[in-house]
Amino acid sequence: MVGTVAFLSLAALVALGATREADLATMMALQSVASEPLDVLVNWHTLLGQLVVTLSAAVILTVVAWRRLGGYAWIAPLFILATGAIELIFKFALLHPGPPDEFVRAFMNPLGVRLHSPSSFPSGHLARLTFLSITLAGLFSSRASWTAAIAFVALTLFARIYIGDHWISDALAGLTLGAAVAGAAVAWMRATADAGGPPESQVSVRR
């Protein structure tokens, strides 16, 4: 619920043009620490968020959820498809061009599918990677998994802005979209896990 409200609020601010100054200021601040090692890091990180990689990861998670929780919990990772549908709607409904070429630090995109749309809002990379991170953390439900998820999402937020593919408004929108859909996915896993499943899975579900 919080993620949904945050996402819609960001969409409204972007539609009103209220994020332009913050978008530019954040981009310039993050790129002020630009370096070759950071460029390499964020470009390789970009591969992790490509559609083919994230959808493959979601399929793997369906198997893990089925083996760990049983029941219909395996359907939860497929909720990632909802992030794509919502992303496409807003990328063609809003007029919010992405950063100009002068900010772009990307130098490779071997698995990417370039979508030409009038808006860079929201970031699909952040939506998908946030979704997968939270869903995976919810599946194992441990302090370590949640800490890793938070750290990885924070890195992704930095990377998508630093590389010049998105403004901070796009990135935060992708994060909140992914978190909202992941919240629904985790709730689905907990509600549909097989009561007759292995004891280990039942401990994870109850936490």
Q: pLDDT grade, residue 120 (50/70/90)?
A: very high
Question: Residue 189: pLDDT above 60?
Answer: yes
Question: Residue 21: pLDDT above 50?
Answer: yes
Convert the pLDDT of each residue in 42-101 to its tens digit. 999 999 999 999 999 999 999 999 999 999 999 999 999 999 999 999 999 999 999 999
Question: Residue 135: pLDDT above 70?
Answer: yes
pLDDT at 146: 95
Q: pLDDT grade, residue 195 (50/70/90)?
A: low
Q: What SS3 state is found at 110?
A: coil
Share of the chain above pLDDT 90, in %: 83
- The contacts of residue 194 (CB under 8 Å, 6+ apart) are 69, 70, 71, 73, 201
Inter-CA distances, 138 with 59, 77, 194, Å: 16, 11, 16
Residue type, 171: A
pLDDT at 202: 45
Q: For the chain, what is the mean pLDDT? A: 91
Convert the pLDDT of each residue in 99-115 to its tens digit. 999 999 988 877 666 66
Question: Residue 207: pLDDT above 70?
Answer: no
pLDDT at 113: 65
The partner residues of 96 in beta bridges, in order of sequence, read 119
